[in-house]
Structure 1
């Protein structure tokens, strides 16, 4: 499948605007995410496998911060449980509209409930699977605990939360190493120094990364019984939290 190439930061910009998931980002998002997040394809594939393992009949599976629906589509491919409803939510109107159009274009059955809403305001009910795939990092720090507590309350016993995040590191040497290696990864994907630098500035006050220790403590405080990293590639990781 052909995707538009991400060249949003290829030319010098006089002023670096704050990163937003607007139409310009939507137009290049599949290319951007694949070339920016190490292991993204593997994470999406495994989300489908985990959804197949944990989904239950007459339950809900949520993709919170769904963007163009990669996780929701992976879940749909693998879920065999009867009457299991997939709910995909994103606050970006441009993302939601493109996701809807893509489903219509490929003739997919409308088996995914797509909603344009702030995930902090969406009710979570009878959830067997909840996915926050590189979403929590864009939520204000002060709101993260309440969001995770709401998710926990809305989950069925035995449910799973899959949380993928860009990590920060408490050790300064580890932080410098992982940031440097991520930049090398992006260069290998064809991004220039200028693109990397300008994108970093655009995300500086928007994407707020935290350490695994911080994530684990918050998840355990919300009520989850067990939290572990199942995948990590430099400073990008995905965690499994079990209820």
Structure 2
């Protein structure tokens, strides 16, 4: 599996005097993002590495692979290592700090000229001649009423036999099991050095910004978008990934 990117330590939510504002992917988050995601998302390194291996199986010469909501490009670079040289890679994020950080990280990477960086909302990007599209922890930040439209646009831009990789934090419908998974996820963060203050403040910052759906909602929506076969291939606590085929 690939090594995680280096970054500053994530201590953004440790200041009790700082105002709590809605979470956004600004320059401060970009600076600490690799540390943040490693300590916050169980199984993240495996999820990224396996996404690259799936890309190797799915990507077709002469097509494109899209990483929508690419952040600092962990999945983008995993795909670059695995797919044929004739595959174009498109990395999209609406946060200028993330695109700038990814551009810096690609400066000395062999083959990086194959990657097109786009700073735009993922909803505004037209998917064309794609054999693979990745939405890695991205759909959850799109307003729920616009999620089906985004998936329909992705489906329309995939070649026959192409696929969507979707990874999301999920909402568990059963109150008891949902509370248990949430508590265990917070234990995971504590075990990775986050303070009670940081956990609580980040939870408040993400409220109404990150809106998770249930497994059932995701799978029904993928079917409604026109995907003909959907397989869950990864889960770690309350994080799940699917592959959806055309």
- TM-score interval, normalised by the smaller of the two chains: over 0.9
Alpha-carbon spacing, 1:166–1:142, altered in 2? closer, same or farther (3 Å): same
Structure 1 counterpart of 2:64? 60
For structure 2, list consecutive stretches of 5 or more residues without a partner in the other structure.
none
Structure 1 counterpart of 2:159? 156
- Three-state SS of the structure 1 residue aligned to 2:17 is coil
- Three-state SS of the structure 2 residue aligned to 1:110 is helix
> Separation in 2 of the partners of 1:108 and 1:192?
40
In terms of mean alpha carbon deviation, does 120-129 or 108-117 score higher?
A: 108-117
Structure 2 counterpart of 1:220? 223
For structure 1, list consecutive stretches of 5 or more residues without a partner in the other structure.
none
Structure 2 counterpart of 1:36? 40
The correspondence for 1:173, drawn from 162, 171, 176, is: 176
> Separation in 2 of the partners of 1:24 and 1:84?
33
> Separation in 2 of the partners of 1:15 and 1:8?
11
> Separation in 2 of the partners of 1:226 and 1:177?
30
> Separation in 1 of the partners of 2:178 and 2:10?
26
Structure 1 counterpart of 2:207? 204
Structure 1 counterpart of 2:16? 12
TM-score (norm 1): 0.97
Q: For this pair of structures, how many residues does the alignment match?
A: 242
C-alpha RMSD over aligned residues: 1.2
How does 1:175-190 map onto structure 2 within 5 Å? 175-190=178-193
The correspondence for 1:71, drawn from 56, 60, 75, is: 75
Q: Is the 8 A contact 2:134 2:166 kept in 1?
A: yes
Structure 2 counterpart of 1:129? 132
By how many angstroms is 1:19 displaced?
0.4
CA deviations on 1:111-147 (whole Å, 9 max, x unpaired) are: 2101001110100011100000000000001110000
By how many angstroms is 1:162 displaced?
0.5
> Separation in 1 of the partners of 2:209 and 2:17?
18
- 4+ runs of 1 displaced by more than 6 Å? none
CA deviations on 1:73-103 (whole Å, 9 max, x unpaired) are: 00010102x5210000000011001111121
By how many angstroms is 1:3 displaced?
2.1
CA deviations on 1:4-57 (whole Å, 9 max, x unpaired) are: 100001121353111010000000000000100000000000010000000001
